[in-house]
Amino acid sequence: MRNRSTIKYWLRRGILFIFVFLQLQFLYAQNDFMMRNGRMYLRINKKSTEQELNNFIADFDLKDLNLKDFIKSNNLATLQKLGWKIEQNTESIAIISKKLEAAEGMNNSAKRITINNKSDPIPVCDIRFGINKFRNKIFTVDGNTVTFFLKNNTNARKVMLAGSFNNWSPGALPMKKTADGWIAQVNLKPGKWYYIFIIDDQWSIDTDNYQRENDGQGNINSVYYMTNTLFVCNGFTDARKVFLAGSFNNWNQKELPMTKVSKGWILAMYLPEGTHTYKFVVDGNWYEDAGVKEKLPDGAGGYNSVIRFGKPYLFKLNGFTNARQVVLSGSFNSWREDELYLAKTATGWELPYTLGAGNYEYKFIIDGKWMSDPASVLSSTVSGNSFLIIEPNYTFRLKGYKNAKRVFLAGDFNNWDPQAYAMKKEGDDWVFPVHLGIGKHLYKFFVDGDWIRDPNNKLWEQNEFGTGNSVVWIEK
């Protein structure tokens, strides 16, 4: 029999072997993410295929880091701006890390970067839907009250809950110990919320929650959606599988499985403001929602069910009273030509249509002929599309060109159209308000026929033409 010292020796060797094995696994594996000793680590394989890199970016919502540009140009500016440290950077591998705490000399790891107002959900103008995906647990909901649940960890001394709902305050929301773990109740508005558990002063994502992402500040958080609608497909109790498909998920018929209940199938979902069309897919067959009255043509002789959130916008076309038919088509309905029919009035045509905050393009189709909106001041001579901006939240301003004759704004928010967003003169400046989602946006000004970067914005990045684009970050 081995003595105790021998056993301890091999035990220490075993622990060391496991530690080294995990280190090597992280070092030589493909793209990966891990947290250790209060830091987040990203390992980037520069030899990854485009699909592998796309999957990695999508899995952890890393689009704000601009990893493709980093791999191509070795430009560290974006990563360093977000507070990432370069641990290793070779021809084939890059490893970057970031503290889980704020970068202001705070010793308490439960202090975070403030990213959101105390009571408002994360803006979701760029997200079409939200569902919760948990492993072996749920968060119970009673009205507006959500019970957050952390499984296990019953040996922990204390557990706190922090998130965008309490301004990331580390001591504001203690969790209560139960036989199975820890719970805390929070009142939430419908929308998207970030959260983290603080277990004995150590930050931890919810490992039972498949929904996690980068918050735009380089932090990986768990995501919870406070849903605002419950889809119910009554009947079909003998069906093997039932899915929900609609305009919010590009009609993917196998992405959103519904849960079987005694009288049918259900799926809770968060949907942002706007008009959403959908159907149920029962064992491969498509069905309308029998419990919903409003419908729109599906283009195949049938109808899609409709659900709306928010206030309608009134599209109007004056004149054309002799036309037989007028259709509205735009980026908000995938440019369908057979869905949104305007009603005839004494002076023209109109259609109320619910849209959420955002930048949209559209046209009218008059007896089969496409045309821009003659009443819109935002119409492009390049594409011929009219533009509509709902709830602008950011104003671009160009200084130093008071003698310019015509100035336009173009960027990734309007498909870089150089003649759509005509800026207005305000004193000696040129201004234009748009709606921008959270994250990074690229833009330029088109001044009297010449493209220029914003001379008053030092933040920019190189483009494929070698002329660079200005960069603006929207944090909340």
**Model confidence over 257-267: pLDDT tens digits?**
999 999 999 99
Q: Which band of pLDDT confidence, cut at 50, 70 and 90, is reported for residue 65? A: confident
| pLDDT (0 to 100) of residue 110 | 36
| pLDDT (0 to 100) of residue 172 | 80
**Model confidence over 178-228: pLDDT tens digits?**
999 999 999 999 999 999 999 999 999 999 999 998 766 667 899 999 999
Residues 317-343: what's their mean pLDDT?
A: 96
What's the whole-number average pLDDT of the chain?
Answer: 85
Residues forming beta bridges with residue 359, ordered by sequence position: 389
Q: Which two tokens stand for residue 275?
A: 């008009």
d(CA 109, CA 117): 21
**Is the pTM above the cut of 0.95?**
no
Residues 153-171: what's their mean pLDDT?
A: 91
Residues 124-142: what's their mean pLDDT?
A: 87
- Whether 40 has a pLDDT exceeding 80, the answer reads no
- Whether 431 has a pLDDT exceeding 70, the answer reads yes
Q: If you write DSSP's letter for every residue of 384-426 in order, what string do you get?
A: --EEEEES--EEEEE-S-TT-S-EEEEETTTTT-TTTEE-EEE
**Model confidence over 313-325: pLDDT tens digits?**
999 999 999 999 9
Residues forming beta bridges with residue 447, ordered by sequence position: 407, 450
Residues 323-337: what's their mean pLDDT?
A: 96
**Model confidence over 439-459: pLDDT tens digits?**
889 999 999 999 999 999 999
For 6, 51, 401, 432, 456, the CA distances from 426, given in Å and listed in that order, are 81, 46, 11, 10, 16
- Whether 102 has a pLDDT exceeding 50, the answer reads no
| pLDDT (0 to 100) of residue 28 | 43
Closest CA to 281 of 255, 250, 307: 255
| pLDDT (0 to 100) of residue 32 | 64
| pLDDT (0 to 100) of residue 49 | 82
Q: Of residues 269 and 119, which shows the higher confidence score?
A: 269
Q: What angle do CA 286, 125, 278 make, to 5 degrees?
A: 10
d(CA 31, CA 33): 7
Q: Of residues 158 and 59, which shows the higher confidence score?
A: 158
d(CA 468, CA 459): 10
| pLDDT (0 to 100) of residue 16 | 46
Residues 165-182: what's their mean pLDDT?
A: 90
Q: Of residues 51 and 324, which shows the higher confidence score?
A: 324
Residues 137-142: what's their mean pLDDT?
A: 94
Q: What angle do CA 248, 119, 308 make, to 5 degrees?
A: 25
| pLDDT (0 to 100) of residue 75 | 76
d(CA 166, CA 384): 46
Q: What percent of the chain has pLDDT over 70?
A: 84
